[in-house]
Amino acid sequence: MCNFDALDDATKQLLSEQLGAFADAFGSRHAFLSFLEAIRQAKPHPLNAKNSQAHFPQGVIRWNKAIFPETLTLLQKIRINESKQGNLFPAPEDKSYKKVLNLVRTLAPLAITIETKESGKTLQLKPFERIDATTTRLDPFFDAVFFCAVETVKKVLAYTKA
């Protein structure tokens, strides 16, 4: 999702509508973007919190499993290749295949809950979406909340088909 310009118009429109509805659950798109900026400014990354929760002025993020810094670093690394090949997994003969497989197995049961303060709604996130037996991608909402640049998310929210 972070490589928004490379997507076709139908996918851009769908992502824009879905992310818009997700952002509106925060009470406003401005509140959602402020939430994303707070996540980007947090050091270390909020998902590395030992108590599996992170508090921000716009809401609270909770998850059910500890995420180690090495796991998060590997996830950030492989998500860059995902946009090029359409899959988190490298080729099976690649040296990093087993590491990626173990990462997906480790994080697949992860359930993230975002409780918004302004609207009082609770949103659920999963890190991956499984396309088929050999293809797995990062969930676009998970990617938008934790990794994509705020400017990219603004572009997705503002997209209108020309």
Segment 62-114, tens digit of pLDDT: 999 889 999 999 998 888 888 778 888 888 898 989 999 999 999 999 999 99
Q: What is the pLDDT of residue 92?
A: 87
Residue-averaged pLDDT of the chain: 89
Report, as an integer, the average pLDDT of 35-64: 91
SS (H, E, C) the chain: CCCHHHCCHHHHHHHHHHHHHHHHCCCCHHHHHHHHHHHHHCCCCHHHCCCCEEEECCEEEEECCCCCHHHHHHHHHHHHHHHHHCCCCCCCCCCCHHHHHHHHHHHCCCCEEEEECCCCCEEEECCEEECCCCCEEECHHHHHHHCCCHHHHHHHHHCCCC
